[in-house]
Amino acid sequence: MKKIICLLTALSLAAASLTACTENEPAAGNDKKSGITGRDLLDTSSEVVSDSEPEPSNSQADASSSSSVPEPSSSVDETSSAAEPQKTYEGATPAMWEVTDDKGHTMTLCGSMHALAENDYPLPEPLLERFDAADMLEVECNINSEESAQLSMSILSDVYYKDGDTVKDHISQEAWDALDAYFEDAGLDIDLYEKMKPWALDSIVEELYTRDTDVKSELGLDTYLIDKADEAGKQVTEAESVEFQLDLLLGFSDEIYDFLFRCYDGYTIEQAHEELYALHDAWRTGNIDEVEDQTYVVEGLSEEDKAIFEEYNRLMLYDRNKGMEESIKEHLEKGDNVFFLVGAAHYAGDKGIISLLENDGYKVERIKY
């Protein structure tokens, strides 16, 4: 079974925070060969960001007044909300939709990927026009907020077991052996991480997907547009929050983490990178069907593992999709002019945001580039 790639912003924050751990306890990056952090990934020599599209940055820009805002010029697919757009724009064309309620209020929905490459920029003009025309940006969580910085540091107290336990006391030998082989393939000594709780170890595991690639969390679409919103003085709101996402990660049962770790049996770093780039290509081309295929993988599972996997998907995706849909509906009811940006996987499938909105009677149309 392939590992599920879920690039949560909070997961990157968690991994980044681990680098601040004391030298008495092994932290991410204190391995034999190379450091791993959520913000310190190998860069690329490609320089494709134009003068009008500054390179994405993690720093929070000073708020400034914006110039006149153009009206969106992107066309909307009138035939089917599920239809793939006919691409005419050279470059990344992530999936976007326009949702309309019975009062004629509209919002733009956009699928994000929380880690991108430099050559994904500059963003397509149709996306930027709709972003510029909005008064408000809503994301899963605002990683530029002071609360995010405080929370990402506060979780350090919950990284390690304090009672003499190790992660091996909370997962199966099969799970540990799978991770051991996977870490060895990455050139890491997993014994350095055995005191970590499962959620913290998983944050290290997830960072291996992007290590030694040109896909970086600091170049994620959320980070970039939050910075642009700050520069333009736009309001940035949250569909969830960093606290919500961290609570989710810390709240998963040992059984869920054991299942996720066992999925690495026979898995290699090369396969992880292949999956990452497949997911990246799906995002880049707006291929939501492929995003769904990359997200929901159930081949070869026992009935017990299917139940665990379904619970994982319920917590990680299905329940959150419902909460995100409620936020969209509230904005539409108030007539808010919002550019709504959450991970592309949240829109996919019959339990995704698009299906939920359509089932509740909202008109959802795919935006063409």
Asked, for residue 65, whether it belongs to a domain, the answer is no
Say how far apart CA 329 and CA 239 lie, in whole Å. Answer: 12
Q: Taking the CB of residue 188, how many other CB atoms lie within 10 A of it?
A: 24
In a domain, 362, yes or no: yes
Residue-wise pLDDT for 21-31, tens only, equals: 433 444 433 33
Tell me the pLDDT tens digit for each residue of 204-219. 998 899 989 999 988 9
- Domain range holding 310? 9-41+71-368
Residue 228 lies in a domain: yes
The model carries a pTM of 0.79
For residues 70-92, one letter each, b for 16 or more C-beta atoms within 10 angstroms of the residue's C-beta and e for the rest, the string is: eebebebbeeebeebbeeeeeeb
Lowest-confidence region among 50-64, 173-187, 277-291? 50-64
Determine, yes or no, domain membership for 327: yes
Q: How many domains does the chain have?
A: 1
Residue 61 lies in a domain: no
Per the domain annotation, does 181 fall within a domain? yes
324 found inside a domain: yes
* pLDDT score for 296: 63
The secondary structure element, H or E, covering residue 128 is: helix 125-133
Which of 32-36, 239-243, 305-309, 311-315 has the least mean pLDDT?
32-36
Checking if the pLDDT of 112 tops 80, the result is yes
Q: Is residue 34 in some structural domain? A: yes
Angle at CA 149, nearest 5°, toward 147 and 150? 65
What is the rounded distance in angstroms from the CA atom of residue 80 to the CA atom of residue 203? 38
pLDDT for the residue numbered 90: 59
The residue type found at 270 is E
